[in-house]
Amino acid sequence: MARVKDDGERLHAFANAMADSVEAASDEQLLLDARSAGVDPNHTKSHVQQLLRGAVKASKQRRLEQAQAEYKSSLAAFCAATAKIPAQRAEQRTLLMHVFQTHPEIRSVTLQHREFSEMTDSDVQTLLKQAEQLGLLDGLDNMEDGE
């Protein structure tokens, strides 16, 4: 036996059928509907366009905020990753030398045929950052004795 709909459900069903009818109506019919109700279709057009433009703008804003959040997050990760690298260039070289001593295989790959003294400060910093990302600086925090 079919269940009896309450008044709200009946309105829901009616309104959906009305929406379907609107969607299926021809352009001419819809424009006539509007004009017979005293509505200017151009006004409706402006309203709908403004609404949709607003949604586009909000979406762009959300994407921008998301990109900013991702940038901040990656910047924080970078800062955290370089936290173990000393600020002074001499100490950076000492640390890298220590890494090479601890991991000779890294030395052969990175230096190849160059001498350690030939490396620029920038090379040293880059290698230390890579070593940090590989976890090679872990456990070297207490290297104050200049090993």
Partner 1 sequence: MGQKAPGASEGSASRAEIEAAIEGLSPADAERLRRSADSRAAGLKGLGLGVCGDDLLQEAMGLALEGTRRWPKGVRFVTYLLQLVRNVAGHLARRAMSRLGIPVQDQAVVEVVMSGDPDCLVPTAIPDPERLAAARETTGRIKNKFAKDETVSLIIEGWETDMTGPDIKRELELSQNDYETAVTRLRRGARSLEE
Judged by CB under 8 A, which stretch of 10-18, 94-102, 124-132, 137-145 contacts partner 1?
10-18
- Judge residue 127's burial from the number of C-beta atoms within 10 Å of its C-beta, 0-12 exposed, 13-18 middle, 19 or more buried: buried
* Residue among 146, 92, 98 at smallest CA distance from 121: 92
Based on CB atoms, which residue is closest to partner 1, 47 or 89? Answer: 47
Spell out, one character per residue from 56 to 85, where the chain touches partner 1: x when CB under 8 A holds, - when not.
x-xx--xx----------------------
Binding residues for partner 1, total number by CB under 8 A: 49
- Retrieve residue 56's tokens: 């586009």
In angstroms, give the least distance from the CB of 45 to partner 1.
4
Say which residue the tokens 């299926």 belong to. 24
Using CA atoms, how far residue 98 sits from 5, 25, 136, 140, 144, in Å, is 80, 79, 10, 9, 12
Binding site for partner 1 (CB under 8 A): 3, 5-19, 21-23, 25, 27-34, 36-39, 41-42, 44-45, 47-49, 51-56, 58-59, 62-63
